[in-house]
Each structure stands twice: as structure tokens, then as C-alpha cells.
Homo-oligomer: A and B are copies of this chain.
């Protein structure tokens, strides 16, 4: 059985139902904890599922922030200091990762028990437990015309990855790194490889690699 919603039916649902539904539509999303600090050195940690690839040469990452109408510590810290870290989450600490989304006073590192670490004099805190840590510097921000969502572009300055997850061709084995994926606003999953396929060509059966 298939359930159908048209645009008007979506708008007629209550806001809680609609938010759950629309946030699930894209499918499984990446999960990263973004580590920042303000000019006084107060650290902050928050979960983000809207981080994506913008380019490999030079290496850049994009992050979407909801409209900047309420206090957004992560965005404000990045605009103030220019630096932030991305940290993959594993099942071992996905509970704490979710808990960083609460409206804490003070640092989410201290409050949730996740350890911060500073590496190679990079001026933003990494999550010690994370198997993949990325240090980024602000390049620019730009507002979406449609609803004032902020798109932030960062340059990738450092990558720290557990060697067991780094393959010879540069790709990462996220199953081995044990990275978590998220759906909607609150649901965490682990993943298991089905297949990896070679570059696809017309009229030639795909080979697995």
C-alpha cells in the first residue's frame, strides 16, 4: 500500500508531523560533531547532518545552517574565529553526540563527557574519540534567497583518520571506521556494505571492486 501526500496535504499536517516527515525524505545523512570555540576560548560542540562535498581541488566542504534568526553558537563561533572541526561519531558515543544538541550553558564537551583535544596547533577543538577528525577554515558564507538558510564553505586544512579505515586508493572504509549515519532529526544507524562498483560504462556489465 502506498500513502500519497500532495503539497497542500503536507501543509495541512501539524508542524511536528510535517517536520518529521520532511526531514526524513532525503534518506540517510552523514553525522558530524562540529567543534568550535569563541574568542574567549569557550568550546562548543554540536551535531550536524547537513555537511557535503563542494570540491576536491582545492578540498572544500559545505554546511547548511538554518536561518540565523536565533542564537547559533556554532555559526557565530566560526564567523568570529574562522576555524572549526568535523568529527565522525561512532555507536560508542552517539548518545553523547545527540545530547550535545541540548541547550547547555557552558561547553558541551564538559557537560556531555566528550573529551576535547587540540592537534597540530589547530585553533579549534577536536573530539578525541572520533576516528575521523577534520580541521577546516572558513572561506565564505552565502544566504539562500529562498529562506535565509546560511550556506557556509570551509577549506579542509587537516585530516586525521585511523589508518585501519584508509584504503590504498584514498577512499575510506566507513564500516571499519564505524561511522554512524542519521535519519530525520533523532535516529542513529550503523551501516554495512552491500557492494562497491567500478566506474560505470554503457553496455558493459558493472564489475565490483
- Whether the pair A19, B170 counts as a contact (CB closer than 8 A) is yes
C-alpha spacing A57/B10, complex, angstroms: 9
Residues of B within 8 A of A114 (CB): none
- Whether the pair B202, A155 counts as a contact (CB closer than 8 A) is no
21 CB contacts below 8 A, A to B, read A2-B163, A6-B120, A7-B157, A15-B56, A18-B59, A22-B53, A23-B171, A25-B86, A26-B52, A54-B64, A54-B147, A54-B149, A55-B147, A91-B194, A102-B202, A140-B145, A140-B146, A142-B142, A142-B145, A186-B197, A187-B195
Give A residues with C-beta under 8 Å from B. 1-7, 10-11, 13, 15-32, 50-62, 64, 86, 88, 91, 94-95, 98-105, 111, 120, 132, 134, 139-140, 142, 144-147, 149, 151, 153, 155-164, 166-167, 169-172, 174-175, 179-181, 183-184, 186-202, 206, 209
